Structure 1
Amino acid sequence: MKLLVGLVWLLSWLPFRVVTVLGWLIGQVIAALPTSRRHIGEVNLRLVLPDWSPAARQRLLRQHFVAMIQMLLEYGYCWFASRDRLKALVRIEGLEHLRALDGRNAILMAPHFTGLDLAGLRVSLETPVVSIYSVQKDPWLDAFFRAKRLRFGTGIIFARRQGTRPTLRALKDGYRLYYLPDQDFGHRDSVFVPFFGVPAATIGGLSRMAAATQAAVLPCYPRREADGYTLVIEPALTDFPSNDLVADATRMNAVIEAQARRQLHQYFWLHKRFKSRPPGEPDFYGK
């Protein structure tokens, strides 16, 4: 693992366009391999894009593998780039929407797009950020990831297993929550609402935390471009949360779907987004 970290450090010295080309080359190879991740991606795209031809979905899947490999190679920038270089690599569009909420609690709703970690670190240079992370099994790797996420002293992080109380406390203390709400965490605390027309187990944490802290919710997403990323911050959702958890989850998924349709190849399709099923429905992915 330390050898891989050293390789990523070396990649951090390369220009963004060179990493782009390397990612394209490696991604084309990885996309052609009959891996379990490729199977998951094929299932997901067949579910969410049923009107597309198989050939069109395969082209999109290859593009997605390229985007994912490029993201992995770009972690060198996330872990080692200076403040100035990070600001040059990740621009922010719509920062005025966040600035307008100075003095008010705010949640940045950030779905799983490539570049999400770069974007999270970048926005922490503009406002103190709190985020939630999954503890790594390898203690050295976990300590390394924590150190790199906190290396600018512009935020704090809490492990998912700590629950939401520390995060809510940080929100009330003026930190902005960078929150990723769009993966399948099982049936607990989830409701089934449409995502690309498919019932998806969706956690209600966004509306619960917004209600508990009277926080505004601003959808955001990173968009990979030829010379870096743009973090797009959209205006705060109006009349959110409501008193209806299902309605809130439905609205959240609709917002994320609209973001994903703008750049389908950059949304995460290689995890089992539809793993949990309503009672009686079969498993999509096979055993």
Structure 2
Amino acid sequence: MSRLFIALLWLLHWLPLSVLSRIGEGFGLLLYALVGRRRRIVKTNLSNCFPDLDEDGLHRLTRAHFRMLGRSFLERGLQWWAPRERLERLVHLHGAEHVRRLLDEGTPVILMVPHFVGLDMGGLAISMHFDVVNIYARQSNKVIDRWLYHGRSRFGHQILLPRDESIRSVVREMKAGRPFFYLPDMDHGRKDSVFVPFFGIQAATITGLPRFARMAKAKVVPVSSRFLPGGQGYEITLGEPWADYPSGDLEADVACMNARIEAMVRPMPEQYYWVHRRFKTRPEGERGFY
């Protein structure tokens, strides 16, 4: 089945993006109808993070999210096989000068990448301009794992470290001039996490970002990945480096990160990865969300 899906993605990647994106949105609506458990997770997340939404608004935002999710699955073939020339026409990268300036100054860089559905396209765009270090979680499905790894390493000289690799290895690569492509906004349980607000909800959040920034004396650059409508492509924005971060107060720094991610999500909430159980770990004595 995995090989059939890969073959389908290969066939679809030849289509114009204006056609492929519509097929992807249709696929997302099919997922919305079929995957009831994930649909309920999305609705639970959205209803808690956007309490002002009425039932109709919640329904529309949930469907919009699944349309974007469907696109993210089917447009992955572009990341894996489209020639560089086509990708350069489709992917619009803004703010690369911020990273280039820091690297030219000899300052280590952490690319802070929230889980937008287009994050892999963002990673691809960045890899066409910079050699980065990334933490890669091997997939249990070897066929999918092979192509995910290929997509993240096909341009430049990227370093993908296993999840259990030493923190010192990441810091060493940053100090050698490689930006660190880091995804810090998923619920990984209580270990190395603190509870800080995310959309007003206490969320278990890993403390890695301020810890890495302190150890490497690195600047944090936020990365926003947006799917544009129809055949317009993708907009990847590298923001201004964060000033005065980290502050030295670990919990305050993690809370600051969540607040800044929330500000990035609000303009395009349908493109955040709401199928993840972001609030599955609860403070002691608090009832679970899911």
**Which bin holds the TM-score, normalised by the shorter protein?**
over 0.9
Q: What displacement does 1:34 show?
A: 5.6
The amino acid that maps onto 1:240 is: Y
Report the counterpart of residue 272 of structure 2 in structure 1: 267
Q: State TM-score, norm by structure 2.
A: 0.95
Q: CA deviation at 1:22?
A: 0.5
Aligned partner of 2:223 in structure 1 is 220
Q: Using the TM superposition, give the Cα deviation of residue 122 of structure 1 relative to its aligned residue in structure 2, in angstroms.
A: 1.1
Give the SS at the match of 2:237.
Answer: strand
8 A contact 2:116–2:273 mirrored in 1: yes
Letter in 2 for 1:232: T
Give me the whole-angstrom Cα distance separating, in 1, the residues matched to 2:143 and 2:39: 29
Pick which of 249-258 and 102-111 moved more: 102-111
* Alignment partner, residue 239 of structure 1: 244
Q: Is the 8 A contact 2:113 2:181 kept in 1?
A: yes
How many angstroms apart in 2 are the aligned matches of 1:150 and 1:29?
31
- TM-score (norm: length of structure 1): 0.96
Runs of 4+ in 1 over 4 A off after TM superposition: none
Q: Tell me if 1:116 matches 2:123.
A: no
Q: Distance in 2 between matches of 1:249 and 1:48?
A: 18
Q: Kindly indicate whether the alpha-carbon contact (under 8 Å) linking 1:125 and 1:154 is maintained by their aligned counterparts in 2.
A: no
Structure 2 unaligned regions, length at least 5: none
Contact 2:131/2:157 (CA < 8 Å) preserved in 1? yes
Q: CA deviation at 1:156?
A: 1.0
Moved more, 252-261 or 74-83: 74-83
State the partner residue of 2:255. 250
1:206 and 2:209 matched = yes
Mapping of residues 44-83 of structure 1, within 5 Å = 44-83=45-84
Work out whether residues 42 and 274 of structure 2, in 8 Å CA contact, stay in contact via their aligned partners in 1: yes
Q: Does 1:280 align with 2:281?
A: no
Structure 1 gap segments, 5+ residues each:
none
- CA deviation after TM superposition for structure 1 residue 146, in Å: 2.0
Q: Offset of 1:99 from its aligned partner?
A: 2.0
Shift of 1:183: 0.2
How far is the alpha carbon of 1:89 from its aligned partner?
Answer: 1.5
Q: CA deviation digits over 1:184-223, x for unaligned, max 9?
A: 0000000000000000000010110011111100111111
Instruction: Tell me how far apart the structure 1 counterparts of residues 234 and 11 of structure 2 sit (CA, whole Å).
Output: 20
Distance across 2 between alignment mates of 1:255 and 1:207: 14
Letter of the structure 1 residue corresponding to residue 187 of structure 2: D
Residue in structure 2 matched with residue 99 of structure 1 by the alignment:
100
**Following TM superposition, by how much is the alpha carbon of 1:251 offset from its aligned partner in structure 2, in angstroms?**
0.5
